């Protein structure tokens, strides 16, 4: 009787830990940081596109793309949340857009597509809102190092123990449980307060001098190069911070507290970077595509005709090949990423 109760309780706890799907906390924190750095005209435009004038207008939609990907209509967008860099961590880390972005798309091609679409005057309000929601989410995902890595499906297949939970994988710990341990929860209120701390660090603390370098590669006229630079920046951290001693070293014991302490400065850095970059990118989208359109009707059609570049049609990634080898449908369950 006692043991039955105990095991049901354990099952309950594991389920709770596994249920929460960067997770909602990370994405909302990125969004709140971005809201702080949008200039007034961009903020007004974004609120209009999203039909939300609340104080959480970006945070409210920051995880929409994760809900959408798990619907039938949104399944096509699942590969947009990451790029499977076929490198060899911890020895070599690098992202190669032509090698790593498959014909189904990846974070880089999706950021390029939605950057073009959000400013496309021919599209419906719903399509523009969709594009903005994707940008808010994907500029967060691309700063999470394991969203820029093919190894073990972005770490989803690396079983680890974190903070007493023996049923974790490295990807979801980076997405969700490590950030939640640091911030103390997953609600919008917790995200807002974590964002406030990171905004202070950006304005006058640890990140004050580094922040200019975070947006140095952001060129609104070349979204593919910009997003490739963001992905490469995060991917390097797979070798230096996420698994500097390889995979086996992560599976020797609880990742809390030693590993957690070694990565938490990087987790915070990447969240701060994601928010600051998102604001800078949306300010640039507004200036280059929206403000101009408002003053020059002729420009509308010219902007609209700019086609979004297609992802390179190349061979499938290692992860896709693995899915085929395992066979049976899409292999979604085996390889599904939380984020
Ligand atoms: C661009 O976004 C639209 C709308 O979500 C989608 O149908 C299309 O496949 C995307 N194209 C690329 C190249 O990602
Ligand atoms: Zn995602």
β-sheet bridge partners, residue 168: 160
Q: What is the pLDDT of residues 94-114, one digit of tens each?
A: 999 999 999 999 999 999 999
DSSP 249-289: GGGSSB-TTHHHHHHHHHHHHHHHHHHHHHHHHHHHHIIII
> In the chain, what are the domains?
4-326 (1.10.575.10)
Mean pLDDT, to the nearest integer, of 307-314?
54
Among the bound ligands, the one closest to the CA of 138: 2
The pocket around ligand 1, CB under 6 angstroms, is made up of: 105, 109-110, 113, 117, 130, 308, 310-311
97 CA → ligand 1 middle, Å: 17
Distance CA 134, CA 281 (A): 13
Give catalytic status of residue 141 as yes or no: yes
Confidence of residue 297 (pLDDT cuts 50, 70, 90): low
22 in catalytic set: yes
Write the CB contacts of 114 (distance below 8 Å, at least 6 apart in sequence): 130, 131, 132, 134, 135, 138
pTM over 0.75? The answer is: yes
Q: Work out which ligand 1 atom sits closest to the CA atom of 130.
A: 5
Query: Averaged over 267-286, what is the pLDDT?
Result: 98
Distance 207 CA to ligand 2 centre (A): 25
* 337 included as an active-site residue: no
66 is an active site residue = yes
Q: Of 17, 22, 280, 335, which residue is the catalytic one?
A: 22
110 C-alpha to center of ligand 1: Å? 7
- Of 17, 64, 81, 148, which is the active-site residue? 81
Give pLDDT tens digits for 34-45. Answer: 999 999 999 999
Annotated active-site residue 69? The verdict is: yes
Tell which residue, 206, 185, 187, has the closest CA to residue 197.
Answer: 206
Which are the contacts of 297, defined by CB distance < 8 A and separation ≥ 6? none
């Amino acid at each position: 009787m006692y043991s039955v109760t105990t095991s049901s309780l354990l099952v309950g706890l594991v389920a709770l830990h596994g249920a929460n799907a960067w997770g909602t906390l990370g994405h909302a924190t990125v969004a709140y940081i971005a809201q702080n750095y949008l200039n007034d005209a961009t903020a007004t435009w974004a609120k209009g596109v999203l039909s939300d004038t609340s104080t959480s207008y970006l945070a409210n939609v920051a995880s929409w793309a994760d809900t959408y990907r798990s619907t039938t209509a949104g399944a096509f967008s699942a590969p947009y949340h990451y790029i499977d860099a076929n490198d060899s961590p911890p020895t070599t880390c690098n992202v190669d857009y032509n090698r790593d972005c498959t014909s189904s798309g990846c974070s880089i091609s999706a950021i390029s597509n939605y950057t073009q679409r959000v400013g496309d005057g021919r599209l419906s309000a719903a399509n523009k809102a969709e594009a903005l929601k994707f940008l808010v989410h994907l500029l967060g995902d691309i700063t999470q190092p394991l969203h820029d890595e093919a190894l073990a499906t972005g770490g989803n297949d690396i079983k680890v123990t974190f903070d007493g939970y023996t049923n974790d994988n490295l990807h979801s710990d980076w997405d969700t449980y490590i950030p939640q341990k640091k911030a103390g929860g997953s609600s919008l209120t917790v995200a807002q307060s974590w964002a406030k701390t990171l905004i202070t660090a950006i304005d006058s603390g640890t990140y004050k001098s580094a922040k200019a370098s975070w947006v140095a590669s952001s060129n609104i006229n070349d979204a593919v190069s910009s997003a490739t630079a963001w992905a490469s920046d995060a991917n390097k951290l797979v070798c230096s911070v996420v698994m500097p001693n390889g995979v086996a070293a992560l599976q020797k014991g609880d990742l809390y507290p030693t590993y957690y302490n070694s990565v938490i400065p990087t987790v915070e850095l990447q969240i701060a970077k994601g928010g600051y970059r998102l604001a800078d990118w949306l300010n640039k989208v507004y200036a280059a595509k929206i403000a101009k359109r408002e003053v020059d009707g002729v420009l509308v059609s010219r902007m609209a005709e700019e086609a979004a570049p297609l992802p390179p049609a190349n061979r499938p990634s290692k992860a896709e090949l693995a899915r085929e080898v395992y066979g049976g449908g899409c292999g979604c369950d085996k390889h599904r990423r939380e984020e």
